[in-house]
Structure 1
Amino acid sequence: MQLRLRDVTKKFGDFTANDRVDLTVEPHQIHCLLGENGAGKSTLMNVLYGLYEPTSGTVEIDGEPVAFSGPGDAMAAGIGMVHQHFMLIPVFTVAENVALGHESTRGASLDLATTRARIREISQRYGFAVDPDAVVEDLPVGVQQRVEIIKALVRDAEVLILDEPTAVLTPRETDELLAIMRQLRDGGTSIVFISHKLREVRAVSDVITVIRRGRVVGRVGPETSTDELAALMVGRDVSLTVDKTPALATGAALEVRDLTVVGDNGVVLLDGVDFDVAPGEILAVAGVQGNGQTELTRALVGLEERVTGSVRLDGHELTGLRTRDVLARGVGFVPEDRSTDGLVGSFSVAENLVLDRCHERSFAAGPSLRLGAIAQHAGSEVAEYDIRAGSVDSPVATLSGGNQQKVVIARELGRPLKLFVASQPTRGVDVGSIEFIHERIVAERDKGTAVLIVSTELDEVYALADRIAVFFHGRLMGIVGPDTPREALGRMMAGEPAESVLPAAPWDHAGDDDAAAPGTLSGGTDRGTTNPLPPTAAPPTPSEPTSPTGRTAPADRHEGNPTA
C-alpha cells in the first residue's frame, strides 16, 4: 500500500497546526516524521487516522482519494495507530483488549478463541511473547505496547502509525521495539514513526520528513547527522552537547534519609530512599516515568502529605515545613507540568516571575504590590533569559512552550539558591531552548548550588549528570557515574539493582558494617556505593582517587589506602 497526504492543512480557529503538508509513505518503508513537541506531527497523524477532518487537502491510498469519518474507516482501509498513551483497559486480558470494538460471538457467548489464536500467531511470527490470557495491568509497559501493535495487526493493518512509541520505555525495551519495527517492515507493514529523538530516528528510519511549525522543512535519509537534523527542526545551528567541567564536589548539601511517600490509597509510592547531593554537583534521576520520581521532587519541597523520613539542607530539616518555607530556605523548584503547577496562564509574564516572591519587601508594601519594581525585575529577567514575549504584561499563556519554560527557570534561578530541583526541565521545549536551559543549569551548579534533575530523556541525563540515580517502583536501584553504559542503566531502570549490573569495585567497602548497600548513598560522601565506572574502565590510579559516591575525592580521604 502506498499512502499519500497531499497538500493537507488543518486549522483550529485562527491557529494553523498543519500547513499544506505533503507526505508519501511507500510500501515496506519506515518513514519517520521528525519534529519538536508542538510541531504538528500528532495532529497530522490524527488527520490520517480519521480523528480529525482536514481543513483542506486529501489523503490518498494507492493513488485514490479517501475520506475517513473516524478511526473505524481508517482501520478498514488498512491503517492502524498506536497512540503515545495506550488505549488499553487495565483489568481486561490481552485477548479481551484486542477483541474490544470488534467482538465476535458464538451463539450468545463472546468468542475469544479465534482472537487468542490470532494473537498467538502474530506473537510467534514477530517474537512478541505475549500471553493472550494475561491481564494487561500485570504486564510491563513494553509488553503493553506490543499488545497495542497486535491490536492493529489483528485488523490487518498495512500501515502502522507509532506516535512517540519510546516515550515510556526503558533503553532495552526501546531497542526491542526498534527491532520489532524492522521485522514488521520486512514482513510487509509500512510504518510511520513519530519522534523527536534523533538517535532512534537515525537508527531505524528509511526516510525522514522534518516538520517545523506545521510545515515540512526537509526530507532526508538516516545518514544525515544529528546536528543537521537538529538544525532542520529548529531553523538554526544548535549544539547538542553540554560544555561542562567535571564536578569537584565534596560534602553534602542535601541529605535524604529513609524518605517514604504513601499515596491516599495506602500504596507506597516512594520506598525508603537514601542519597546525598553535594554543593556544586548535578545528581540526575533516571527512570521510566511513574516510578516515584514525581513523588520524590514533590516531597523534597513539601508538596506531599504522607511523608516519613528526613530531608536536610545544610543541616536544617525540611520535612514538615510548608512549601513557602522550604523555598525560603534557598530551594528552587521546576515542576514537571509547567502549565498546571508552574504558571498561572492568565497572569502576566511579570507576575509569573514573582509568584513565589510577591510577599517580599522588594515587590510588596504591606498588602500592595510594587508594580514598578515587578516590571523592572521582569524586564531584567526577560533580557537575561531570552524570553520572547510581546511585553512583560502579556499573559504567560500566549507564549510558546519553550518561552513558558524559560519563565519558570528564570523565576527559580533568579534568586540565591542552595538547592535547585528540576523535574523534566526541557519537556515540550525545542532544541534551541534545550541548549539554553542546559547552559543555565550547569551555570547554577558552577556557582556551588546542589542540583537535582529528574528526566525521562536519557540523552539529557547523560549530558547533565555528575552522578546518576536510577529509580524503579519507588526504590533506588543505585547511584552510578555518568560513564555507566546505556545498557547497564537500562537494566537498572527495569528493576535490576546496581550491584548486579556493574562489577564490584576494589574500593567498595566489602565487609564494612558502616558501609551503605551497594548502589545507594545512605551516609556521608565516603559511604559505599556501586562502582561508577563501566565494566571496561580501569580503576582510578592512586594519584587520582575516586570516592565510592562516584565523585573525585581528596587524596587524604582514606589515609594509607589510595584506592579505598
Structure 2
Amino acid sequence: MDYVVEMEGIRKEFTGIVANDDITLRLRKGEIHALLGENGAGKSTLMSILFGMYQPDRGRILVEGKEVRITSPNVANKLGIGMVHQHFKLVEPFTVTENIILGYETRKFGLFMDTDKAAKRVGELSKQYGLNVDPYAKIEDISVGMQQRVEILKMLYRNADVLIFDEPTAVLTPQEITDLQEIMKNLTKEGKSIILITHKLKEIKAVADRCTVIRRGKTIGTVDVAETSREAMAEMMVGRSVSFKVDKTASAPGAAVLEVSSLTVKNSKKVEALKRFSLSVHAGEIVGIAGVDGNGQTELIEAITGLQKAESGEVLLSGKPIHELSIRERNDRGIGHIPEDRHKRGLVLDYSLEENMMLEVYNRPPFSRNGLLKPSAMREHAEHIIESFDVRSGSGVRSVARSLSGGNQQKAIIGREVERDPDLLIAVQPTRGLDVGSIEYIHRRLVEQRDKGKAVLLVSLELDEILNLSDRIAVINSGELVGIVNASETNEQELGLMMAGYGKEEGSA
C-alpha cells in the first residue's frame, strides 16, 4: 500500500505531560483521513510535529516512503505539507493575495513584488478548486468561512499535496460546513491527501474515508469510517459509551427571571442589528436562541450582559430594570455569562487558571479583606472548580490559561460561571470546539442549573444542541424574532425554515 505520509511510534513530552505516546498514523494518497480524539488527547501536537512546529522525542516520519526530518514549517512546505490552523494566521488589513504570498513573494526583476501575477494565480486556483475567493478583498471585510478558504489557498499556492485541517468547522455556520466538505472532496479528487483533526463524528461520517482514534496520547486504532458506527467511534475516543441524547425531565417553569422587551441594538457599523426584540426566560427552563450566525444574537447577549448599550427597549432581571447598570453590577445581581469567544471575552490568556477563576469575585470575602487578597482562599476556590469540572492542565491551578486545550479552557469558564450560582446563566456556543465527552458533560451541567430552578439562555449555531437542550426555542432572523416554539413540538426542518425568515403562525413569547 502506498502511503504519502507515515508517522511511526511518535512520542512527545512536555514538562510533566506526555502529549504523544507511541502514536502511529498512515495517510493514503487521495484519502480524507480523520484524526479523532478528545480535547487534549494529543491531536494538535501530533500534527504540529508533522508540520515542523515541534520535534518528536522518538519515532520517525516518512514522506513518499523516505524518512525525513521536518525541522520547521518551511521544511514541511517544501515536502508538500500544509496546515490550516484552528485560529487563522492572517493579517487583517492585507488583501487575500498579500496574505497568500507573505513569505513566498514573487518578485519582478528580483526587486518588486509582483502582486498582479500572484493575484492571477490565486484567482486560477480559487476557480480550479471551487473556492470562490476574491484575490483583491481585504481580510477584515470577509467572513470567517471565506478567511478559512484563504488559508486553504495559501497551501495550494505553495503546492501542498498533504493538507492538514485543524478543527476546521469550529467557527463555521452549518452552510459553510457543507461548502467546506465539498471543497475537501474536490481537493482529494485533484489528488490531494487530507488529514482532518476533529471530534465531530457527524463530520467524519460525512467526509472521511478512514479514521485514527487517539486517547490520552495513545493510538486506540484506525477504522474504516463507512463500516464503523458513530457510537463505536465515540466509545473508542472517550473510553466509555457516550449518550448523544440529553437526559432531562419536562421543565417546570417558575417566575420570569429575564424579560427583554422591545430591545433595539446597533452593531459596530451603526446599523440596527437587533430590532424591537422581546423575550422572557423563566426560572427552571432553558430557552434556546436559534439562528444563522450574525443575525443579532451577539448584540442581544451584549445588551443583556452590559457589553453594549441598547438604543431603546428594556431589560429586567427578576422584575428590576438592569439596562442602566454596569457589567459588574449586573454580575452581582445574578447574571453568569459563558461568552462566545473564550479567548477575547472569557479568559486572560496569560494569567494562571487560579487568577482566571477569580476575575469576578476577587473583590469580595473570603477572597479579599480590606483590599488585600487572600491567596489560600483563592487557590482553594480555583482547585475546587478544576476538580468539579475536570479541567485538565499541566500544573493545576498554576497553569497559564493559554497552555490549556480549547475544551479545558471552556470547562474552566463554565465552572467559574456556574460556581457563582447565578439566577440567569447565559451560555453562548458553550460547546464550540469540544469533543463528545465534554459536550455530554456540559449539557448535563446546564440541565442541572435548570433543575435547580435557574433560568438558562442558550445561544448556539448547532441545531442538534438547541433541539436537545432547550425547553423553548426562539428563532431569530435579521435581528427580529421570527417566533417561539416548544422544543418537543418542532424539528430541524421547521427550525431551518424559520431561521430563513419564514414565520410560524402560532407561538407566543
Class of the TM-score when normalised by the shorter of the 2 chains: 0.7 to 0.9
* Partner Cα distance (1:286, 1:423) in 2: 11
* Partner Cα distance (1:187, 1:200) in 2: 21
Residues 140-161 of structure 1: CA distance to partner in whole angstroms, max 9, x if unpaired? 3323322222222222221111
Determine which of 280, 283, 305 is the counterpart of 1:277. 280
Deviation at 1:28, TM superposition (A): 1.0
* Partner Cα distance (2:289, 2:20) in 1: 36
The one of the two structures with greater contact order (alpha-carbon pairs below 8 A, sep at least 6) is: 2
Asked whether the 8 Å contact 1:211–1:218 carries over to 2, the reply is yes
Residue number in structure 2 paired with 1:312: 316
Q: Which amino acid aligns with 1:150?
A: L
Residues 79-121 of structure 1: CA distance to partner in whole angstroms, max 9, x if unpaired? 1211222233333333333333222233354334443443343
Residue number in structure 2 paired with 1:165: 168
SS in 2 for 1:122: helix
Determine which of 254, 260, 275 is the counterpart of 1:256. 260
Deviation at 1:35, TM superposition (A): 1.4
Asked whether the 8 Å contact 1:478–1:497 carries over to 2, the reply is no
CA shift in 2, pair 1:219/1:426, >3 Å: same
* Partner Cα distance (1:158, 1:381) in 2: 44
Residues 188-247 of structure 1: CA distance to partner in whole angstroms, max 9, x if unpaired? 111111111110011111011112222212211213222222222212222121022444
Asked whether the 8 Å contact 2:362–2:368 carries over to 1, the reply is no
CA shift in 2, pair 1:13/1:104, >3 Å: same
Q: How does 1:398-547 map to 2 (within 5 A)?
A: 409=414, 412-413=417-418, 417-426=422-431, 431-469=436-474, 475-476=479-480, 478-479=482-483, 481=485, 482=487, 486=492, 497-499=500-502, 504-505=503-504, 507=505, 547=507
Asked whether the 8 Å contact 1:5–1:22 carries over to 2, the reply is yes
CA shift in 2, pair 1:61/1:46, >3 Å: same
SS in 1 for 2:289: strand
* Partner Cα distance (1:300, 1:214) in 2: 41
Q: Is residue 2:182 matched to residue 1:179?
A: yes
Q: How does 1:75-224 map to 2 (within 5 A)?
A: 75-107=77-109, 108-222=111-225, 223-224=227-228
SS in 2 for 1:278: strand
CA shift in 2, pair 1:460/1:159, >3 Å: same
CA shift in 2, pair 1:396/1:323, >3 Å: farther
Residue number in structure 2 paired with 1:47: 49
SS in 2 for 1:498: coil
CA shift in 2, pair 1:367/1:151, >3 Å: closer
What value does the CA root-mean-square deviation take over the aligned residues?
Answer: 4.1
Q: Which amino acid aligns with 1:9?
A: R
Instruction: Report % sequence identity.
Output: 44
SS in 2 for 1:434: helix
Asked whether the 8 Å contact 1:257–1:310 carries over to 2, the reply is yes
CA shift in 2, pair 1:39/1:253, >3 Å: same
* Partner Cα distance (2:19, 2:424) in 1: 39
Deviation at 1:8, TM superposition (A): 1.7
Deviation at 1:61, TM superposition (A): 0.8
Q: Which amino acid aligns with 1:459?
A: D
CA shift in 2, pair 1:227/1:476, >3 Å: farther
Deviation at 1:332, TM superposition (A): 3.3
Asked whether the 8 Å contact 1:82–1:148 carries over to 2, the reply is yes
Residues 21-51 of structure 1: CA distance to partner in whole angstroms, max 9, x if unpaired? 2111010110001112222212211111122
CA shift in 2, pair 1:364/1:307, >3 Å: farther
Asked whether the 8 Å contact 1:93–1:135 carries over to 2, the reply is yes
Structure 1 residue runs of 5 or longer lacking an equivalent are 509-546, 550-564
Asked whether the 8 Å contact 2:354–2:382 carries over to 1, the reply is no
SS in 1 for 2:323: coil
SS in 2 for 1:42: helix
SS in 1 for 2:194: strand
SS in 1 for 2:105: coil
Deviation at 1:136, TM superposition (A): 3.5
Asked whether the 8 Å contact 1:51–1:70 carries over to 2, the reply is yes
Residue number in structure 2 paired with 1:529: none
Q: Which amino acid aligns with 2:234?
A: A
Determine which of 226, 238, 241 is the counterpart of 1:237. 241
CA shift in 2, pair 1:388/1:115, >3 Å: closer
CA shift in 2, pair 1:87/1:327, >3 Å: closer
TM-score (norm 1): 0.73
* Partner Cα distance (1:207, 1:137) in 2: 36
Aligned residue-pair number: 495
* Partner Cα distance (2:83, 2:186) in 1: 17
Q: Which amino acid aligns with 1:105?
A: R
Residue number in structure 2 paired with 1:522: none
* Partner Cα distance (1:469, 1:192) in 2: 37
Deviation at 1:452, TM superposition (A): 0.6
CA shift in 2, pair 1:187/1:409, >3 Å: closer
With 461-470 and 158-167 compared, the bigger mean Cα shift is at 461-470
Residue number in structure 2 paired with 1:544: none
* Partner Cα distance (1:373, 1:109) in 2: 61
Asked whether the 8 Å contact 2:483–2:508 carries over to 1, the reply is no
CA shift in 2, pair 1:368/1:275, >3 Å: same
Q: If each structure's helix is expressed as a fraction of its own residues, which one has the higher value? A: 2
With 37-46 and 186-195 compared, the bigger mean Cα shift is at 37-46
CA shift in 2, pair 1:321/1:100, >3 Å: same
Q: Which amino acid aligns with 1:54?
A: P
* Partner Cα distance (2:373, 2:55) in 1: 48
* Partner Cα distance (2:408, 2:74) in 1: 38
Q: Which amino acid aligns with 2:48?
A: N
Structure 2 residue runs of 5 or longer lacking an equivalent are none
